[in-house]
Structure 1
Amino acid sequence: MSGIDVRRILRIRREHAVRMTPFRKRRHIPRPVDSNSPPEFADKCIVVGISTGGPPALATLFQSLAPPLPPIIIVQHMPSHFTRPLASRLDSLGKISVKEAEPGDVLRPNQALIAPGGKHLRLRRFDGETHALIRDGEPVNNHKPSIDVTMRSVAEHFPGRCLGVIMTGMGSDGANGCAAIREAGGYVLGQDEATSDIYGMNRVAQERGNVDQQFSLGDGARAITRQTQLLWLPHPVGVGR
């Protein structure tokens, strides 16, 4: 815990609880998914890993993200019963449809799925579509959902066609997942220290050489949109980008 401001972390969590309260009182119906996107977007994926300080950072990001975008998966370290209200809040803020992932959900362009609290989210492919696989299991890196678990699955199912985004949070979860994405030919963006509430997971990924480019939170939507366009350009696996 050396160097960690515990009081700051507790304040962030209290503020998050206050923001989430109104959304726990009603069931939110996600906005319709925008079906206008290039056909190839269905065969790409963006995966976002985030922890402490995540809800306000995601709110800033999703206020600016706009179609067309590939399917998005969000892994936010959170207990059960909190991820659905978070999905409702993000869905209400911008132009991307956001919902808590359920077993069998199909990944669709212009929609974000949030890994449910207390479960791991992996992917499986059948009938020509990629589906969310929600499973229990032991925590990985002391977390469930684990960013590493989901990022590795995304890298496996979308080799060379996935964008990893590692953001604010304590610990090192996601660092190995970022490595898996890059090894599979994908690209990784990391939130910078200046705009992170806790420069932890993204710091570890950066120090291990698993981040291709850093971004400030205010420029996050633009960086993601720009890089997803570049994902369509082929490049050899393992070649520096």
Structure 2
Amino acid sequence: MRTAALLGAILLIILGLAQGDSDALGDDQPMFDVRKVEIAGELKYSDPNALQQYYDQLLGSGLFDDSMGNLTNFVTRPPWIESAKVRRVWPHTIRVSVVEHRPLAYWNAGQIITAEGQIITPRRLPDLPLTKLMGPRDTESVVLDQFSLISQMLSTSSLRVAKLELEDRGAWNIQFSNGIRVALGRTDILDRLGRFVAVYKSDLSGRIERISSVDARYPHGVAVKWKLQE
């Protein structure tokens, strides 16, 4: 009896709300239509207005029309959104708490490699002090692994990678933030890089402005191409 009475009371409340809000609801609108989408979370890279406009596609739909799984898939489609939690706030609001991807490096033209190793394609690239990684299609994990190993090797030096490229034919090229470009070839990459670093520390670091490029593809040393003196 108590259960039946409770259910009856709830039904009366719902009917009363529907009648009291009849001026805001059309005959063809659901009782709990979505009238507001709230975004929570820190946005560093997403355009807040564009993100709001995308999420506002949910306006007018029923609050319970879609499963939470479908809603989550929808709200995580924008390129910068790594994950999101969706909450239905009775009676007319959906609240989306978002977490953005963390950019790790630029990838080829117009893309970003995230800290999770995913490739995203934002509408606009942010201007960030990131290394540029380049390579053929589907080689991002290979290039990222090589970049990690190279960064570890350079951790005790002043050299920092500005660009790392894997060519179609499998050869590696590196450019440092000081402007020096080094050809590393296709094999023994870390050994060749190690020889360059040793020569750089002992003989080249004081003459950076005179260096055009370096070829480290030799078995026992490196070849330096000097800029023409004016």
TM-score range, shorter chain: under 0.3
Please report the TM-score for the alignment, with normalisation by the length of structure 2.
0.20
Larger strand percent: 2
Structure showing greater relative contact order (alpha-carbon pairs closer than 8 Å, 6 or more residues apart) = 1
